[in-house]
Each structure stands twice: as C-alpha cells, then as structure tokens.
C-alpha cells in the first residue's frame, strides 16, 4: 500500500495559502492527497484540471471555513473524538478525489486494466471494470448491495506526523498501527481473513471441499451461527438474499479474498441451538464491537436482547479478549 507522505505531497505541490489572493481556489490543497490504488495498474491518474471543475467544499468540520493546507491536515475531524461522528460528506468535502474513477487507462508498463485479472478477482460477485480501492468498497454496485461502509468504519484517526506508535512522548501510544491509516487487524481482517474451515468440520479448505456442499455455505449456515452481520456497515438481509445458492458471496468475505493468512476472531453471537461453547471459542466475544452497533435500528437491539441467553461459560475476560484479539 503506497501513499504519499504528507511532507512529500506537500513539497511536490504548488501549495499556496488560500488567504492570498491567488487564482488557485482555496480548496486546491486538497489535491495534495495523492491516492494510489491498492490494485495493480490502478494508480490515480486524475489531474488537478478535472477536480478544478468541482464546487469548493463547505466549511468542513464546521470550525475552519478556509483552512490552509497544514491546518486542514490537522483538522480535528481527522482525530478522535471528532472522527467518530464525522459524516462521509464532511470528509468528502476535502477528499472528493478518493471516490473519483481514477484507474489509469494503462499502467506505466503499458498493461491495460481490462487485460489483467488478479488471482482474487475470480469470484462471481466481481463485476465491472478495474476500480480503485475506495470505489470497490464504497460505490461499485456490489459494494452498495451488500455493504454500507463509511469513511470512519475504516479511518479511526492516525497521527500524520509520527505514523508510528509510542515513538515520542506526544505520539499516540494506543490505537495506532505502524504506518497505517487504518487498523488492518481490526478492520480489513474481518472481510479478508482466511476461512476457518477446521472449526467448521470441513475436511479441506473451501476451494477443495466446496463441491461437496454445492458451493453453498447455507447448507450449514441456515441453522448455524444464524445471528450474524447485525452491524452498521453491512446489509444483512441483502447478504443472505445474494448468498442463496451462491457460496461466493459468503466466501468472498470469509476466505475468498484472504490477503492475510491468518484468522479473524469473529464475535460468536448466541443463536438458537448454539448453547454449547466449544473450547476454541471460549475466549471469543459474544457481541460485535460497540462502535459497529451505533445507528442500528432499535429492532436489532431488541432482537439481541430476546435472543437465547448467552452461553454462561463466558467470563468477563471475554471483553478483554475482544480488544486484545482484534489488535
């Protein structure tokens, strides 16, 4: 994952203070955000000219109406607690470019995006032309169908100066992943981990055993771990509907795009018939992270309350394991 270091981006750009009566619009510093896609041959190729036709942003965080580049970079909206309640619109006022189609017509080596498919772009859910990372998660049809990710589902605030935890007295010690804008272990891993086929009692990894099950996870999961996906960044009903007879939907987020060769310790919500807690699940949390529950319709909370009582073997240590395991 490549991204422009703030210093580099700043020095490369003809950044000018918007307070001077320069012809450069006040928001032009936003273009300093060089977005490089995570996808092969998908680097941002949009230039300032394109963005220049857009409307200037509103006062972004409501605190500074025309911040200069440095102030904007340290706008409190980037950090906790403000980032927790930030809306996508607020972020996009300055970062509109992350959602703009910006895959190059061809890579620097001359390869055209339509001619290449990555190993993970082989599930039936993958459609359309090559897209940038942000668009694949936020605006492509499939993303919108099954997910409801927001900027702050992934972005939880980071320190633009240090980018490394605990390296000075003032740097943020916790919740900061080394040189990452997003805590990959807590966020990406949920949808890009290996499939835990062993605990499912499958003889082999899904790639090999799926024929046995007609490529249908619901042969088991119509009855097992049925209390799932009740979080504010997924569309649970749409997922179940799309997954009827198509295991690629489920597998896509549970092993089919496993960038990380490790497991994610999913919360294990109680479900009818799932009263027994196997040894491997003793330390699992029994609810999703609180931040993923905000904004959910009340019925979900009510459903959770009336769900069969949580297995009694769980101990308070589970909540500690929750944070611990997900870091």
**Of 130, 51, 59, 141, whose CA–CA distance to 96 is shortest?**
51
Q: Is residue 252 near ligand HEC by the rule CB under 6 A?
A: yes
Six-digit token string for 46: 């949009």
Q: For the chain, count helices (H), then strands (E).
A: 15, 0
Minimal distance in Å, beta carbon 289 to ligand HEC? 6
Dist CA 77 CA 83 (whole Å):
5
User: Considering the rule CB under 6 A, would residue 102 count as an interface residue with ligand HEC?
Assistant: no
CA dist list (Å): 279 to 212, 238, 282, 283, 313: 27, 32, 5, 8, 10
If the CB atoms of residues 223 and 317 are measured against ligand HEC, the closer one turns out to be 223
Cβ-contact 94, 60 below 8 angstroms: yes
* 3-state SS, one letter per residue, for 214-257: CCCCHHHHCCCCCCCCCCCCECHHHHHHHHCCCHHHHHHHCCCC
31 contacts ligand HEC (rule: CB under 6 A): no
Q: How far is the CB of 141 from ligand HEC (least distance, A)?
A: 8
Give the shortest CB-118-to-ligand HEC separation in angstroms: 6
CB burial of residue 254 (10 Å; 0-12, 13-18, 19+): buried
Considering only residues 25, 104, 107, 133, which one is a binding residue for ligand HEC as defined by CB under 6 A? 133
Please pick, from the candidates 51, 164, 172, 224, the single residue that binds ligand HEC as defined by CB under 6 A.
Answer: 224
Show the site string, 58-97: x = touches ligand HEC by CB under 6 A, - = not: --xx-----x-x--xx-x-xx----x--x-x-xxxxxx--
| Positions 203 through 222 that interact with ligand HEC (CB under 6 A) | 206, 213, 217-221
CB of 316 to ligand HEC, least distance (A): 19
Range 297-326, binding ligand HEC (CB under 6 A): none
Give residues 278-297 in contact with ligand HEC (rule: CB under 6 A). Answer: 278, 281, 288, 292
Q: Taking contact as CB under 6 A, which single stretch among the options 15-23, 168-176, 201-209, 309-317 is the one that binds ligand HEC?
A: 201-209
Among 102, 247, 314, 322, binds ligand HEC (CB under 6 A): 247
DSSP 58: P
Residue whose CB is less far from ligand HEC, 88 or 175: 88
Cβ 243 to ligand HEC shortest distance, Å? 3
| Min dist. Cβ of residue 307 to ligand HEC (A) | 11
**CB of residue 228 vs ligand HEC: minimum separation in angstroms?**
4
Size of the site for ligand HEC (CB under 6 A): 103
Residue 51 CB, nearest approach to ligand HEC (Å): 13
92: exposed, middle or buried (C-beta count within 10 Å: 0-12, 13-18, 19+)? middle
C-alpha–C-alpha distance, residues 52 and 77, integer Å = 24
| DSSP run (H or E) holding 188 | helix 188-192
């Amino acid at each position: 994952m490549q991204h422009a270091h703030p210093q580099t981006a700043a020095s490369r750009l003809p950044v000018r203070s918007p307070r001077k009566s320069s012809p450069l619009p006040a928001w032009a510093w936003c273009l300093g955000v060089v977005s490089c896609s995570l996808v092969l041959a998908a680097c941002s190729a949009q230039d300032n000219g394109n963005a220049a036709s857009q409307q200037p942003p509103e006062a972004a965080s409501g605190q500074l109406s025309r911040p200069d580049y440095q102030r904007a970079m340290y706008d409190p909206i980037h950090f906790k607690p403000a980032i927790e309640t930030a809306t996508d619109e607020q972020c996009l006022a300055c970062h509109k470019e992350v959602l703009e189609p910006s895959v190059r017509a061809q890579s620097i080596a001359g390869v055209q995006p339509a001619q290449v498919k990555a190993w993970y772009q082989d599930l039936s859910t993958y459609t359309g032309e090559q897209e940038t990372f942000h668009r694949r998660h936020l605006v492509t049809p499939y993303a919108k169908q099954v997910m409801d990710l927001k900027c702050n589902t992934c972005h939880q605030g980071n320190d633009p100066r240090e980018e490394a935890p605990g390296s000075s007295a003032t740097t943020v010690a916790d919740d900061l992943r080394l040189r990452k804008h997003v805590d990959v272990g807590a966020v990406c891993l949920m949808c890009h981990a290996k499939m835990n086929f062993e605990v499912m009692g499958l003889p082999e990894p899904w790639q090999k055993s799926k024929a046995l099950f007609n490529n249908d996870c619901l042969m088991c999961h119509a009855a097992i771990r049925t209390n799932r996906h009740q979080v504010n960044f997924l569309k649970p009903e749409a997922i179940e509907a799309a997954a009827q007879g198509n295991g690629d939907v489920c597998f896509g987020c549970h092993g089919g795009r496993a960038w990380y060769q490790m497991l994610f310790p999913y919360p294990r919500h109680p479900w009818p018939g799932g009263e027994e807690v196997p040894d491997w699940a003793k330390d699992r949390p029994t609810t999703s992270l609180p931040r993923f529950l905000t904004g959910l319709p009340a019925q979900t909370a009510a459903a959770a309350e009336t769900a069969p009582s949580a297995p009694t073997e769980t101990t308070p240590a589970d909540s500690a394991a929750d944070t611990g395991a997900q870091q």
